[in-house]
Amino acid sequence: MFREMAIGGKQCRLFGAGKPSYLLIQPSARHESASLEDEVRKTAALSPVPFALLTICLDDWIIDLMPWPDRNISREAEAGKHAADTLQYILSSAVPELLGRFGSLPLILGGYSLGGLFALWASSRTDCFKAVAAASPSVWIRDWLPFAKKNVTRAEYVYLSLGDREEHVRNQAIARVGDSLRAHYELLREQLGPDRCTLVMEEGNHFSDNDGRLARAYSRCMAALESISRNPA
């Protein structure tokens, strides 16, 4: 189902059937590779709109995606220093590859956990992405809300989701994820409008149905962009 390829020195996997209407980009951890085909199947089952999905295999999930240091997430010296490098790679290598193959189509940036956090952060750095699919994003990172207040997303639509058991944990840093995500959703309602963002509470903890949550995120993003194109503000 996926085609393995090297783009700009990184290993990537591309799914694309027919003529897509949307291009999905997903930074991916090695542990996610086993569920990618299920994710694509579920996304295709939920969405009548054809799409292509490019996943980027990262060398180090934490180092490559954390937008700034937080010792509650990682004590590695390089953590929090390279998200900008990952975004630059996406913009200078991954995006041109996709546009060269499929033409100028709307781009959706998505991810799970730290991938979802990265997608939200990246959407405030560039207007390249029309929508963001952030499934269970790690918005419990320190200082997320002050950042989100000062750095407005440039996407046209943002999808957020969270498992209903994710905030019910003993770790007090992780436990703030629910309050942080709900507060971020309210910010998005003010910044984009209530019709341009969605918050969905899923069943389960952080490790439940990851591929299904991403599939629902992507399908909702594509449906929202279809609606926006038909009814622009």
12-57 per-position pLDDT tens digit = 999 986 799 999 999 987 777 778 889 999 999 999 999 999 999 9
Assign residue 131 the CATH number of its domain. Answer: 3.40.50.1820
Determine how many CB atoms are found less than 10 A away from the CB of residue 186: 12
What is residue 233's predicted lDDT score, i.e. its pLDDT?
62
Mean pLDDT of 105-117: 97
Mean pLDDT of 163-173: 84
CA distances from 2 to 68, 149, 207, 231 (A): 32, 38, 24, 34
What is residue 57's predicted lDDT score, i.e. its pLDDT?
93
Tell me, rounded to whole angstroms, the distance of Cα 78 from its chain centroid. 22
Q: How far apart are CA 150 and CA 135, in angstroms?
A: 22
What is residue 120's predicted lDDT score, i.e. its pLDDT?
98
More confident: 210 or 79: 210
132-154 per-position pLDDT tens digit = 999 999 999 999 999 999 999 99
What is residue 185's predicted lDDT score, i.e. its pLDDT?
98
Beta partners for residue 141, in sequence order: none
Q: How many structural domains does the chain have? A: 1
What is residue 78's predicted lDDT score, i.e. its pLDDT?
77
**pTM strictly above 0.85:** yes
Extended strands (E) in 76-196: 107-112, 131-135, 157-163
Mean pLDDT of 105-116: 96
pLDDT level of residue 72 (50, 70, 90 thresholds)? confident
- Name the residue range of residue 18's domain: 3-230
pLDDT level of residue 217 (50, 70, 90 thresholds)? very high
